[in-house]
Amino acid sequence: MSEYAFATFLHACQARVEHVLDTHLPTNDQPPGQLHAAMRYAVLGGGKRLRPTLAYAAAHACSIPLEQIDTAATALELIHAYSLIHDDLPAMDDDDLRRGRPTCHKAFNEATAILAGDALQTLAFYVLAQDKMNPPAVRVRLIEQLAHASGSLGMVGGQALDLASEGVELDLVMLENIHIHKTGALIRASVNMAATTAPHLSIEQRTALDHYAKCIGLAFQIQDDLLDVEGETAIIGKRSGQDIAHQKATYPALLGVKPAHEAAANLVNEALASLRLFDDNADALRNIAEYIIKRDH
């Protein structure tokens, strides 16, 4: 896929999920208005929409119509948005800037931010339960996958491990374990949920897609760590240097900046190799893997 074609695909996916998110989110004039305003502020305030885009790209690789994955893409982004609201709270990462704007608890207040995150989490599962594009058995499996990826054995557990590790000396295996859960679980779910809607896939193809997602999930986190060191606040949309401020173990801190770049590139190459079972329909997945370590925000 050419650079132009990929940019067009990214834009189309972002516009698609933006529309579906807007449709599912309560409007500000529905009481409680402040809560709904906070939910919309957190979800519709920009972002890369990486997880929905991955779901759409995986669906395309599996020859699944994009409308069949709309609700999964929406639910993934709702869960991601809720996690960012809660991560930014003073009790967690204590950030005041997200996507170039005040974080939700700064724009509203802490109580409203907590409730907005809670509401977005439950809305994600409501959206999946109401899906009319997939049969009930597939719907249940999608709910199961998202619940597992976002709970204590996935994203939330990873955040707990990350908080507990502040100021603690970690080795690379321990750090990788944190990020396989905190960041990687939802990225893997994005690809695997799309695969769930494709009953014709072989076990080998499903395994390959999962391995692809695991690799790019770790590569994404390494790039995030590098951006915290090398990025500019105005570009990345959040305060740089926060990992150092919170005494967090990161890939650049453990490996060094250049080896961290090399580790991310190796993971991307491994991800690309895992897609050899797929034809040109998987080119968007291939482009996303390369985009992950080239992005500047």
Domain ranges of the chain: 3-292
pTM of the model: 0.93
- pLDDT recorded at residue 281: 95
- CB count within 10 Å of CB 172 equals 12
pLDDT at 230: 83
The gap between the terminal CA atoms of the chain, to the nearest Å, is: 22
Q: What is the pLDDT of residue 295?
A: 80
Residue 4 pLDDT: 84
| Ordered alpha helix ranges (H), the chain | 3-24, 33-43, 50-61, 70-87, 104-107, 110-129, 136-150, 155-164, 172-182, 184-196, 203-230, 233-236, 242-245, 251-255, 257-274, 283-292
Low-confidence ranges of the chain (pLDDT < 50): none
**CATH number assigned to the domain covering 3-292:** 1.10.600.10
Give the C-alpha separation, 92 to 94, whole Å: 6
pLDDT of residue 239: 57
Q: What pLDDT is recorded for position 231?
A: 64
Residue type, 94: D
The answer to whether residues 103 and 239 touch, using CB atoms and an 8 Å cutoff, is no
Quote the pLDDT of residue 290. Answer: 94
Amino acid 237: pLDDT: 54
